[in-house]
Amino acid sequence: MQSIEIQHTDLLKGYNEVRSQTQFLCDPLEIEDFVVQPVMDVSPLKWHLGHTTWFFENFILVPNMLDYKAFHPKYAYLFNSYYISAGDRWSRENRGQLTRPTVKEVFEYRSYVDEHMKQFLENQEIAETLAEVLILGMNHEQQHQELFLYDIKRILGDNPLFPVYRKEEKPVKQVNSEMEWLNIDEGIYEIGHEGNGFHFDNEEGRHKVFLHEFQICSSLITNGEYLKFIEDGGYRNHMLWLSEAWDWVNENEVKAPRYWNQEDGGEWGHYTLHGYEQIKEEDPVCHISFYEADAFARWRGCRLPTEQEWEVACKMYSPNVLADANFVENKHFKAIQTSDFDFFGNLWEWTSSPYVSYPYYNPPEGALGEYNGKFMVNQMVLRGGSFGTPRNHIRATYRNFFHPHLRWMFSGIRLAKYI
């Protein structure tokens, strides 16, 4: 979150764009869809709406806007996620028990905060440090936009009625269907964010790493390739799996990626946000846990790249992509500008790197110090962004992270190997 030069008008424009994109994601849904929480990892959709709004209210308006009156005295309690420093919270596992505030009331909350943000940004000199918090809030809402899509899919996709979210959704295809091994020489490389653009604190601490020579795949593993793994008994061969992964497979009787379903005739189908359909062999395989990605790589005699290898390869083979990222072009279902080698915006790609702090990492003071740093154990890094990630939210240095058994997000596999 280094210093950035930015104009007030740009801030408000960017803010409005992010906020309206959230609205866009809500449009196809029914009120009922906003309420439930099928498992703890999924939050009710109206909670996402309230929480991202609370972020602006709590970190921008309350401390900085004179005479600002919080919309409701209990919303901070209801919509704080995990910021212990920011006060008591309703428990995460019980978010799905709250039928009130209603969806309508949550949208009123959003309008109220938007109106005050407009007033605030139009009438106030915004200090650089505050602008940083605001831009953090915008990126924060973009992260929740993607989580929102995961959660919609989780909520609708397990319903035996298989409701359609949006008929016209067309997740992007890989540009390069021809797989190629890309070479990276051994040497010292620099890792981490550089320059004035927005980035999260966990990308800071630019530092050197030594990489041995390696190769990385130009494209993601497809459904067709993954089907071969299934058909070869991959889910039944313990030698391919980490010990905890093998327990996970057996306890959950995992036999295919999340949302996949083998029909009577042996054909595979899966739920997508535009409805239930047959598996397409050429599409990249999605909804893969780290455990599965790791086992698949072993089966293929390869491995997953480290996050450092991924970052170096990305910078080398997709250097120009998304250079013009900004807060304008961010409609979710638009065509995506992809690089020659597709390192961005298809699926989050599992790396073999556990999520730990970079050298010299220092989280910010106060509640925002809880944003990223406190999750640096037992999770694995994913890189590259997915078709659900807003375009201007993707960076080569961006570090996403999830627990290794999770797969309700848009996650896939890219292979690497030593030569």
Instruction: Indicate whether 132 belongs to the interface with its own copies (CB under 8 A).
Output: no
Q: Residue 352, interface with its own copies (CB under 8 A)?
A: yes
By CB under 8 A, the residues from 50 to 79 that bind its own copies are: 74, 77-78
The Cβ of residue 263 has, within 10 Å, a number of other Cβ atoms equal to: 9
Report the residue from 15, 34, 148, 343 that binds its own copies according to the rule CB under 8 A.
34
Least CB distance to its own copies at residue 366 (A): 9
Residue 155 interacts with its own copies (CB under 8 A): yes or no: yes
* Interface residue with its own copies, options 61, 86, 103, 285 (CB under 8 A): 103
Which one of 27, 91, 100, 251 is in contact with its own copies (CB under 8 A)?
100
- Pick the binder of its own copies from 97, 111, 119, 261 (CB under 8 A): 97
Is 311 a binder of its own copies (CB under 8 A)?
no
Q: Compare residues 353 and 386 and give the one whose CB is closer to its own copies.
A: 353
Quickly list H helices, 262-328: 290-299, 307-317
Minimum Å gap between C-beta 413 and its own copies is 16
Closest CA to 285 of 161, 410, 377, 201: 410
Q: For tokens 């019980």, name the residue.
A: 94
Q: Minimal distance in Å, beta carbon 277 to its own copies?
A: 18
Residues 159-188 that bind its own copies (CB under 8 A): 159-161, 163, 188
The letter for the amino acid at 126 is I
Interface with its own copies includes 312 (CB under 8 A)?
no
d(CA 281, CA 277): 12
CA 83-86-89 angle, to 5 degrees, is 70
Q: Which of 105, 92, 5 is nearest to 49 (CA)?
A: 105
x-marked contacts with its own copies along 190-219 as a string, rule CB under 8 A: -----------------xxxx-x-------
Cα 400 from Cα 330, distance rounded (Å): 19
Residue pair 165/34 in contact (Cβ under 8 Å)? The answer is no
Shortest distance, position 4 Cβ to its own copies, whole Å: 26
In 3-state terms, the chain is what percent helix, strand and coil (to 5)?
40, 15, 45
Q: Which residues contact 375 (CB under 8 A, 6 or more apart)?
A: 355, 401
Say whether residue 404 binds its own copies (CB under 8 A): yes
Binding test (CB under 8 A) with its own copies, winner from 20, 94, 119, 252: 94
Residue closer to its own copies (CB basis): 30 or 125? 30
The Cα–Cα gap between 86 and 314 comes to: 37
Return the range that interacts with its own copies (CB under 8 A); candidates 4-12, 167-175, 240-248, 341-349.
240-248
96 binding its own copies? (CB under 8 A): yes
377 lies in the binding site for its own copies (CB under 8 A) = yes
User: Which residues in the 242-271 window bind its own copies by CB under 8 A?
Assistant: 242-246
Give 418's strand partners. Answer: 214
For residue 381, the 8-state DSSP code is E
Cβ contact 347:384 at 8 Å: yes
The two structure tokens encoding residue 399:
């570090």
| Residue 411, strand partner residues | 348
How many amino acids of this chain bind its own copies (CB under 8 A)?
66
- We find the least distance from the C-beta atom of residue 219 to its own copies, in angstroms, to be 23
User: Which residues have C-beta within 8 Å of that of residue 169, sequence separation ≥ 6?
Assistant: 272, 273, 274, 333
Of residues 77 and 124, the one with the C-beta less far from its own copies: 77
Residue 343 vs 401, nearer CB to its own copies: 401
Cα–Cα distance between 219 and 342 in angstroms, integer? Answer: 7
329: phi then psi, degrees, rounded to nearest 5: -80, 95
Question: For its own copies, which is the closer residue by CB, 121 or 295?
Answer: 295
Rounded to whole angstroms, how far apart are CA atoms 307 and 326? 25
Contact residues toward its own copies (CB under 8 A) are 30-36, 38, 46, 74, 77-78, 82, 84-85, 90, 94, 96-103, 155-156, 158-161, 163, 188, 207-210, 212, 238-239, 241-246, 290-291, 294, 352-354, 356-357, 359-360, 369-370, 374-378, 380, 404, 418
